Amino acid sequence: MLKRFLMLVDTICLGVAFVTSYSLLPYSRPLIIPGEPVTLSPLRDYTWLLLIILPTWLGLLNHQGLYSPITKKSYCELMVGIFKSTVISLIVVAAASFALREQATSRLLMLLFALLSMFLLTGLRIATRFYAGYRQRKGYYPENLLIVGSPEQVEAVLRVKNDLQPLDTRIVGYLDTSLERPNSKILGVQCLGTVRGMRNALLNNVIDEVVFMPAVPLSDQWDKILTLCEQVGIKVRIVPDFVLPDSHRKEEPPISRATAAEDFWGLPSITFSPIPYKADQLFVKRILDIVISATSLVLLFPLFLLMAVVIKLTSPGPVLYPWRVVGRNNREFLGYKFRSMVVNADQMKADLIPFSEMTGPTFKMKNDPRVTPLGRVLRKFSLDELPQLWSVLKGDMSLVGPRPAARSELERFEFWQRRKLSIKPGMICLWHVKGKPQDFNEWARLDLEYIEHWSIWLDLEILLKTIPYMLLGKNY
């Protein structure tokens, strides 16, 4: 994801540097050659250079490893890599100009472009590295791993991790496949029990991936582990026992390296993912989430102020309702809604549960007595949901996805229903455009259908179908 973001921003930076360099030509030439009249060709005479500049610069930046995990490189390595890429790219452009016999190429333009592009690309890398390092040190959205294996295997793979020190992963704990009920730590990682407790470990922890190291190719534990992880939508990575470094020869790195299989800390692995993984589309989805949520927050700010004033004038209590829910893979986060109920609504809920119109763990009641008169209007047009745009911008939610669940609801989910939360939750979901069935099992099946068939086009279809529901007040 970060690689695609950097490539996109690099392309924009190179384009900005090129146009800016062209704009500076009339002012910079007299400083170098005083008194010489400035004759400037139209910009279109130089645009052919971009066809060479963009792929050359991006290819060399990739070759220098500047799209690999950026926190693993020092600031000096970043600057040296960008300098090398710039020098080699200038040589390639000069050679191309000579080969094509292009006389319109301005050496001063390319010099200015090289300086500006180095400045922009270096500044981008430094800022991105600082920000990514800060977020990772603070524990923002790392991939949480559960290790499953024997104590010897766990120690071996943890030593590999400690040597690499990847900041984008966190070890939640490990399960012992030897079934001996251990109660100890290995290199600071807590044992969560034996493999028999796999189900409870998945339910009670935030886990994004299970790393399983079977001792033999056809371990009898495979089926249980794969089935449980598949039911809740958690990825399983198989790391064969024979590629782990020998615990008695820790100074020697493993010889095998990933080729057709995925690379995992330098070790070959095979991944079983129960949810479709489309990296390019996920990148586009996140960009759309950021652009649409940020734009909406700016444009709707006057409406937010108006709604805040009206809520405050029509009922006692705060304007916003703090919404603590569970998102992707059991992650809790705090979002907000415009308050549409009386202040003590949560305390009144227990008495109203028998009147819920939806079967299952989720409470839904059309004529809920806790809703204020203004709240009914807000809910009718889904205006109370608008503050969730901030959660989308932060990355806790997406515009489209399965709805998050309260912790009290999640505890009543059937095991298979937890797969709803295997991807980032959304403000709207397939349930909104499918007639809102009152059976929670059907709602869960719609969410799983969305996960199985997810694409950018499906998101856009749901968004477009939701708009008329909101405008006509049919969303409540």
Both 108 and 66 in one domain: the answer is: yes
Question: Which residue, 277, 276, 272, is CA-closest to 230?
Answer: 272
Query: Final residue of a domain: which of 204, 238, 272?
Result: 272
Question: Using an 8 Å Cβ cutoff, are 136 and 71 in contact?
Answer: yes
Residue 13 lies in a domain: yes
Residue 476 lies in a domain: no
Question: Using an 8 Å Cβ cutoff, are 158 and 222 in contact?
Answer: no
Distance CA 255, CA 372 (A): 67
Both 239 and 261 in one domain: the answer is: yes
Query: Final residue of a domain: which of 90, 117, 137?
Result: 137
CB within 8 A of 372, min separation 6: which ones? 314, 315, 340, 341, 342
- Which pLDDT score is estimated for 246? 60
- Which pLDDT score is estimated for 325? 93
CB within 8 A of 191, min separation 6: which ones? 173, 174, 175, 176, 182, 183, 184, 185
Determine how β-strand 169-176 pairs with β-strand 143-149: parallel
Task: Please give the single-letter amino acid code of residue 398.
Answer: S
Distance CA 345, CA 332 (A): 21
Residue 459 lies in a domain: yes
Residue 220 lies in a domain: yes
Residue 401 lies in a domain: yes
Question: Using an 8 Å Cβ cutoff, are 202 and 232 in contact?
Answer: yes
How many structural domains does the chain have? 3
Q: What pTM was estimated for this model as a whole?
A: 0.71
- Which pLDDT score is estimated for 259? 47
Both 425 and 440 in one domain: the answer is: yes
Both 367 and 444 in one domain: the answer is: yes
Question: Using an 8 Å Cβ cutoff, are 470 and 443 in contact?
Answer: no
Both 40 and 70 in one domain: the answer is: yes
Distance CA 340, CA 360 (A): 23
Both 177 and 132 in one domain: the answer is: no
Rg, the chain, Cα only:
28
Residue 447 lies in a domain: yes
Both 233 and 299 in one domain: the answer is: no
Using the structure block, give the residue that is written with the tokens 């010897």: 152
Query: Final residue of a domain: which of 272, 307, 325?
Result: 272
Both 425 and 292 in one domain: the answer is: yes
Residue 326 lies in a domain: yes
3-state secondary structure the chain: CHHHHHHHHHHHHHHHHHHHHHHHHHHHHHHHCCCCCCCCCCHHHCCHHHHHHHHHHHHHHHHCCCCCCHHHCCHHHHHHHHHHHHHHHHHHHHHHHHHHCCCCCCHHHHHHHHHHHHHHHHHHHHHHHHHHHHHHHCCCCCEEEEEEECHHHHHHHHHHHHHHCCCCEEEEEEEECCCCCCCCEECCEEEEEEHHHHHHHHHHCCCCEEEECCCCCCCCCHHHHHHHHHHHCCEEEECCHHHCCCCCCCCCCCCCCCCCCEEECCEEEEEECCCCCCHHHHHHHHHHHHHHHHHHHHHCHHHHHHHHHHHHHHCCCCCEEEEEEECHHHCEEEEEEECCECCCHHHHHHHHHHHCCCECCCCCCCCCCCECHHHHHHHHCCHHHCCHHHHHHHCCCEEECCCCECHHHHCCCCHHHHHHHHCCCEEECHHHHCCCCCEHHHHHHHHHHHHHCCCHHHHHHHHHHHHHHHHCCCCC
Question: Using an 8 Å Cβ cutoff, are 121 and 58 in contact?
Answer: no
Both 60 and 181 in one domain: the answer is: no
With the CA atoms of 153, 155, 160 and 164 taken in that order, what torsion angle do they form, in degrees rounded to the nearest 10? 140
Residue 183 lies in a domain: yes
Question: Using an 8 Å Cβ cutoff, are 144 and 210 in contact?
Answer: no
Determine how β-strand 320-326 pairs with β-strand 267-272: unpaired
What token pair was written down for 226? Answer: 């794969």
Question: Using an 8 Å Cβ cutoff, are 261 and 269 in contact?
Answer: yes
Both 406 and 335 in one domain: the answer is: yes
CATH code, domain with 262: 3.40.50.720
Mean pLDDT of successive 10-residue stretches along the chain, which has 476 residues? 74 87 76 60 75 84 75 75 86 77 66 87 82 62 83 86 73 83 78 86 89 67 80 85 57 48 71 71 83 93 94 92 90 92 87 84 86 90 92 92 90 89 90 79 90 88 84 62
Distance CA 73, CA 59 (A): 18
Both 437 and 389 in one domain: the answer is: yes
What token pair was written down for 92? Answer: 């390639």
Question: Using an 8 Å Cβ cutoff, are 56 and 114 in contact?
Answer: no
What range defines the domain where residue 121 resides?
A: 2-137
Question: Using an 8 Å Cβ cutoff, are 256 and 297 in contact?
Answer: no
Distance CA 182, CA 176 (A): 7
Question: Which residue, 349, 348, 336, 345, is CA-closest to 317?
Answer: 345
- Which pLDDT score is estimated for 258? 45
Distance CA 110, CA 399 (A): 43
- Which pLDDT score is estimated for 218? 46
Distance CA 168, CA 416 (A): 28
Both 15 and 93 in one domain: the answer is: yes
